[in-house]
Amino acid sequence: MTKPDYQTWDLISDFTLDEAAALSLDQEPPRTLADANNPAMRAIKERITREVPSHKAGVLQQGRPTLSPRWKREAMRDWANATGRLQEMPAWQTPDERQGTTGQRPASALRADAERNLNALIGLLTLFVAKRLSKLRTEHGTKVPDMSAIAEQITALAKEEGISLDGLGASSLKQRLSNGYQELKDRRHG
């Protein structure tokens, strides 16, 4: 899927469920039914429907006016912010936040701590998996997790369980595992 055209979407304040879901996944809204019903889209649509207030707006369907649920930009932004995922959802950021020109991080200090804690948890899980599956390698005389082997194991498990890894390719998965392990090293020496 392609990235959204933020300049165009910034002009819109009211979204269909497909639009809100795709933009939350940092994608252009789907053009086909298959795109609208992939596992990642279904999951995010369920969350939005459950967690974000909507309103009914009049739209034309087959030439007749009907009331259809819509989601306001402000509600989507509030939801992304409340879940701590605003930085992962650029469509709900302001253009300044997206460009990083505000002079400050949009996330609060608490969210920065939460990110470090999440990285530490990922690091601990990575270390646990590495030890349990004997996926350690020697680096500078020290045993460290083999990120490639662990990423392969996670990818195989996701496939086996039918879990979508959309947006989490092999390199980004390894990077996420490495960031987690680095957080553990920082905490050991810090």
What is the per-residue pLDDT across 64-76, written as a single tens digit (0 to 9) for each? 666 778 899 999 9
- pLDDT for the residue 100: 67
Burial class (CB in 10 A: 0-12, 13-18, 19+), 144: middle
104 located within any domain? no
What length is written for the chain?
190
Helices (H), the chain: 6-9, 17-24, 33-36, 39-51, 73-82, 95-99, 109-132, 147-161, 170-189
Host domain of residue 128: 109-189
Q: What's the whole-model pTM score?
A: 0.50
* 107 pLDDT more than 50: no
Q: Is residue 169 part of a domain?
A: yes
Q: How many domains, in total, are found in the chain?
A: 2
39-58 mean pLDDT? 87
CB atoms within 10 A of CB 178: 18
